A = this chain, B = another copy of it.
Amino acid sequence: MNEDRSELTARANNKGVDAAVAAARRVIASLLHAGDGSDAEMSEVAERLNAVADYLDEHAPAVEERMVDMWRGEGVTRHDPVTGPENALAPPLALTGKEDGSIEGVVVLGMPYQGPPGFVHGGVSALLLDHTLGVANHWGGPSGMTAELTLRYHRPTPLFEPLTVTGRQVAVDGRKIRAVGTISAGGEVCVSAEGLFVAKHLPRPR
């Protein structure tokens, strides 16, 4: 599906499950925006959402079957909670590989990702950077699992503004892989990350 090899994350289709997931992201944000003070009939909203979940569950494959499918071919980049077009938790962040070996993406985060008033949750920044460093390893050389991750918070990361997320593999020493990354807003680094990864992968279900 990704015709350009430098597109490192799955591109959402405007149809199929991806369109439904995009709508689910709207629901998440709208529920939080509405909140307890809204005069919406929330019990009716709950009924409508439960009906959608029931309908989907009636048409879903067995969990084991789905786990095999999501770890095969293009499925691998379609389901994660950072970039996945099938995962409504994902903002989603799209990442592109650059010729200098680094990767980059731009994302705007709304209310559901809030930590301090008006700013991104520090743990959400950690989630984005952990994932981005992992993808940077895939782009730059050998990849693996996170062994240690250090985040430094330099200034608050704003909600509702374009954030640039970068990652780059910086060293490979035997099975040890090191990668770094940043989240910036308006040209200033808000969060930086250093990760140590170990070149191993858990088996895929089959």
Contact = CB atoms under 8 A, between A and B. Distances in A.
A126 to B, nearest CB: 4
B37 A69 contact: yes
State how many copies of this chain the complex holds: 2
Contacts of A152: 147-148
A81 B38 contact: no
A136 to B, nearest CB: 13
B27 A81 contact: no
A94 interface: no
Contacts of A205: 117-118
Contact of A117 (B26, B59, B67, B127): B67
Given A35-B66, A79-B114, A149-B122, A27 B52 contact: yes
A17 B33 contact: no
A142 interface: no
B87 A32 contact: yes
Contacts of A52: 27, 30, 45, 48-49
Contact of A20 (B42, B81, B156): B42
Q: What are the nearest 9 A-B pairs in CB distance? A: A123-B130, A123-B127, A23-B49, A126-B126, A40-B59, A26-B53, A30-B56, A122-B146, A19-B46
